[in-house]
């Protein structure tokens, strides 16, 4: 009996081993070409179809599709694994001119063979020359350190453009979605009121019935409501429009054509693509003088947006206000993407660097797309705007693009432009730059592609501008402008630091040394001449003793404050409150979290005061505002994504998820919950989704659960509670390194892990 039992145990053991050895990894997923997913998707007049790409290209005037404009596109995928600590060891790519060839396992254009590499992004095509205007098909398989060889991925397709370029950023076409009102109510016998729940950029379709040809139906569209009707006089740049329809006899469908607005369709504006048509932002629709029955299906809003998957990201926490702020800001990124380039809402429809940087980081935080950010950044390199600081922000955008994508093509192509945008030509003997000391020459302006007057901005609006009374402080906290401006030079320091990094990445070692030395020199001069040691604060500039929030939050955000002065600067910053614009809040919160003042950061993010994101919700907007309230900018608009900073501050700073190595090859997970009891987030990255959640008992314990993509590693930061604290990873004690107020686990493999730290 015992021998038989032993025999069956041995059989089970051998069978289990065999099954383990034959366990196959999942196929690669989320295939991309030039960092674009779903390149095979075909649109008809902006609507997604099921038409195969190879059939649609025969009639390009009717269809829209992504076009790849480089002759050697870059392939990428997400490595899938059900096991922890998974690394890719090899890949094999097949590219063919015909879908059926790949189905047979053959490739007439490129068979990479088995390439021993852990690279899963930015792999250049290396087969027979591709032709313009053609459709190509590809698939990939991988080998990993656990399960060996995977099956091939699903077949993906892409179309090449009608002309190849040496370098370019490919984009998706703008798409549309039909939306019906969430509420349609009859106000009286002949008036209906429709609420779509959220505002979007679009146009309206109506099904209307008429017994005669003499009716006149009046349609009102608006972003704001008042007393249950569309607000006809919303003020500022809040949108309202009125249209008159004379229905034909019988039941017919009508599309309301939006007329161009001179303010946002001028020579400098980005125009709507023809397949979408002109749009206007609206949430509410009022249909007046219509006595017949009307149902939700008869009222359709055609909303326009850059492709956006709401399921790419997720955030929920124990603070109900913060949850609403997240949803407001996440939706703002989608709603304002209607042009495929970041613009200043609906006023001018012109890209600005300040808007673009916040949009870029926020787009990374809520959607798995990198093309819109890169395209906008490169657009602004050639078409910059007037503020000194915003010229410098091009370098910040270039660095974030590299860190989030891991792709060097953009920084390499625009390297000389980025050098010029450091504005080092304006520097004096101490390293300070100024636009007011005669150094802004025509040559300098030409090098940054700017025609006009370069001026410092600090924040916007300024005192007494745009209807503000002279006693109003604007959004600059009383900042005093001098020849040597503290905020401008903080930006200059950040630009020099990042230019040193960029030069190092590109192998420009002499330039790397040059920029690093100039940054060190400026930081020394900055703290010697602009820091008031007696008060422990930074002043606005040389020649004034005024100290503003801005003069302190920017040096803190950019790492210029010596450790010994951080607490004093933080005390001053706390004393000023949110004395900055929605734009300035990005840098204020960056500085607070960089200095580990998580509790004040949380307080500002979840505030219900007048200067808060919740106030935007309270006012009735579903897209972030251009300013905190109408009183701070009387001509504000209700569709300005530079107000959506929490869409990036929550994942980057509160939840602490940032790339340590380019393209998220290594991930820093450093949550700073303050007193927030619990939270969970899903963050899309170029290598796959990062999931982080925590349960927090401040000062006593914290449980952190993470799930990071295969082919990545992480560095995890937990609070340091006590020198005799207990720290467990996956139920087992683990060594850690103390770094100030954090306990750091430096090398965490991919997959799911649980951490518990207790006092």
Percentage with pLDDT > 70 across the chain: 96
Residue 748, helix vs strand vs coil: strand
pLDDT digits (tens, 9 = 90+) for 700-729: 999 999 999 999 999 999 999 999 999 999
pLDDT score at 4: 53
Q: Is the pLDDT of residue 24 over 90?
A: no
Question: Could you check whether the bond before residue 461 is cis, i.e. omega within 30 degrees of 0?
Answer: yes
pLDDT score at 474: 84
CA atoms within 13 A of residue 530's CA, in its CB half-sphere:
34
User: Do the beta carbons of residue 543 and residue 483 sit within 8 Å?
Assistant: yes
Q: Is the pLDDT of residue 2 over 80?
A: no
Span 559-579, mean pLDDT?
97
**Helix count and strand count (H, E) for the chain:** 18, 38
User: Do the beta carbons of residue 191 and residue 66 sit within 8 Å?
Assistant: no
pLDDT digits (tens, 9 = 90+) for 83-126: 999 999 999 999 999 999 998 888 999 999 999 999 999 999 99
Tokens found for residue 492? 């200059």
Residue scoring higher pLDDT (473 or 683): 683
pLDDT digits (tens, 9 = 90+) for 229-287: 999 999 989 999 999 999 999 999 999 999 999 989 989 999 999 999 999 999 999 99
User: Do the beta carbons of residue 728 and residue 162 sit within 8 Å?
Assistant: no
Q: Is the pLDDT of residue 473 over 70?
A: no
Mean pLDDT for the chain overall: 94
Q: Is the pLDDT of residue 14 over 50?
A: no
pLDDT digits (tens, 9 = 90+) for 388-433: 999 999 999 999 999 999 999 999 999 999 999 999 999 999 999 9
What residues are paired with 486 via a beta bridge? none
pLDDT digits (tens, 9 = 90+) for 137-157: 999 999 999 988 999 999 999
Phi, psi of 66 (to 5 degrees): -70, 140
User: Do the beta carbons of residue 357 and residue 397 sit within 8 Å?
Assistant: yes
pLDDT score at 438: 95
Q: Is the pLDDT of residue 558 over 50?
A: yes
User: Do the beta carbons of residue 312 and residue 333 sit within 8 Å?
Assistant: no
Element (H, E) at 733: strand 732-733
pLDDT digits (tens, 9 = 90+) for 323-345: 999 999 999 999 999 999 999 99
Domains of the chain: 11-160 (2.60.40.10), 175-305 (2.60.120.260), 310-654 (1.50.10.10), 664-758 (2.60.420.10)
Handedness of CA 482, 487, 489, 491 (dihedral sign): negative
């Amino acid at each position: 009996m015992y021998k038989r039992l032993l025999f069956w145990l041995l059989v089970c053991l051998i069978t289990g081993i065999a099954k383990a050895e034959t366990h196959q990894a999942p196929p690669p997923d989320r295939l991309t070409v030039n960092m674009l997913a779903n390149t095979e998707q075909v649109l008809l007049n902006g609507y997604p179809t099921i038409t195969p790409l190879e059939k649609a290209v025969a009639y390009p005037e009717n269809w829209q599709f992504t076009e790849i404009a480089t002759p050697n596109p870059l392939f990428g995928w997400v490595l899938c694994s059900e096991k922890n600590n998974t690394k890719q060891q090899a890949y094999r790519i097949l590219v063919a001119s015909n879908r059926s060839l790949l189905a047979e396992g053959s490739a007439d254009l490129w068979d990479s063979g088995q390439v021993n590499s852990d690279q899963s992004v930015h792999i250049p095509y290396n087969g027979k020359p591709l032709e313009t205007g053609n459709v190509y098909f590809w698939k990939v398989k991988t080998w990993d350190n656990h399960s060996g060889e995977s099956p091939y991925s699903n077949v993906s397709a892409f179309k090449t453009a009608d002309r190849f370029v040496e370098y370019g950023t490919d984009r998706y076409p703008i798409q549309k979605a039909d939306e019906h009102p969430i509420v349609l109510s009859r106000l009286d016998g002949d008036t209906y009121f429709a609420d779509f729940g959220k505002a979007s950029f679009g146009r309206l379709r109506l099904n209307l019935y008429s017994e005669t040809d003499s009716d006149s139906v009046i349609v009102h569209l608006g972003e704001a409501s008042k007393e249950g009707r569309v607000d006809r006089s919303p003020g500022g740049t809040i949108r309202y429009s009125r249209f008159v329809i004379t229905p034909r006899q019988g039941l017919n469908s009508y599309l309301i054509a939006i007329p161009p607005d001179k303010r946002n369709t001028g020579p400098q504006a980005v125009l709507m693509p023809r397949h979408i048509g002109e749009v206007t932002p609206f949430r509410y629709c009022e249909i007046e003088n219509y006595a017949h029955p009307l149902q939700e299906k008869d009222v359709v809003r055609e909303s326009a947006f850059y492709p956006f998957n709401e399921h790419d990201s997720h955030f929920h926490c124990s603070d109900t206000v913060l949850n609403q702020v997240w949803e407001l800001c996440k939706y703002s990124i989608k709603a304002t993407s209607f042009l495929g380039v970041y613009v200043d809402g609906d006023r001018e429809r012109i890209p600005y660097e300040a808007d673009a940087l916040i949009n870029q980081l926020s787009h990374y935080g809520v959607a798995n797309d990198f093309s819109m950010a890169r395209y906008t950044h490169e657009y602004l390199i050639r078409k910059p705007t007037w503020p000194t600081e915003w010229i410098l922000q091009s370098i910040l955008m270039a660095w974030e693009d590299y860190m989030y994508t891991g792709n060097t093509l953009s920084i390499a192509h625009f390297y000389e432009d980025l050098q010029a945008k450091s504005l080092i030509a304006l520097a004096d003997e101490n390293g300070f730059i100024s636009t007011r000391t005669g150094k802004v020459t025509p040559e300098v302006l030409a090098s940054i592609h700017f025609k006009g007057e370069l001026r410092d901005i600090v924040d916007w609006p300024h005192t007494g501008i745009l209807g503000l009374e002279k006693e109003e402080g604007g959004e600059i906290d009383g900042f005093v402008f001098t020849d040597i401006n503290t905020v401008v030079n903080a930006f200059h320091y950040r630009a020099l630091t990042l230019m040193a990094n960029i030069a190092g990445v590109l192998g420009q070692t002499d330039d790397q040394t040059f920029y690093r030395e100039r940054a060190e020199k400026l930081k020394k001069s900055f703290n010697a001449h602009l820091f008031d040691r007696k008060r422990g604060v930074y002043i606005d500039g040389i020649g004034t003793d005024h100290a503003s929030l801005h003069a302190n939050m920017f040096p803190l955000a950019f790492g210029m404050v010596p450790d010994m002065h951080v607490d004093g600067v933080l005390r001053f910053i706390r004393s000023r409150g949110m004395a900055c614009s929605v734009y300035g809040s990005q840098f204020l919160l960056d500085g607070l979290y960089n200095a580990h003042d998580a509790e004040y950061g949380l307080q500002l993010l979840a505030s219900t005061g007048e200067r808060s994101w919740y106030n935007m919700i309270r006012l009735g907007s579903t897209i972030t505002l251009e300013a905190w309230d109408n009183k701070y900018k009387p001509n504000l608009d209700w569709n300005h994504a530079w107000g959506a900073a929490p869409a990036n501050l929550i994942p980057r700073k509160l939840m602490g998820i940032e790339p340590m190595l380019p393209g998220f090859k290594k991930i820093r997970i450093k949550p700073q919950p303050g007193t927030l009891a619990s939270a969970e987030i899903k963050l899309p990255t170029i290598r796959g989704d990062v999931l982080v959640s925590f349960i927090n008992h401040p000062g006593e314990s914290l449980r952190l659960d993470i799930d990071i993509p295969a082919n990545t590693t992480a560095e995890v930061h937990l609070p340091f509670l006590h020198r005799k604290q207990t720290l467990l990873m996956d139920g087992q004690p683990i060594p850690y390194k103390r770094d100030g107020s954090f306990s750091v686990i430096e090398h965490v493999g991919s997959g799911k892990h649980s951490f518990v730290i207790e006092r």
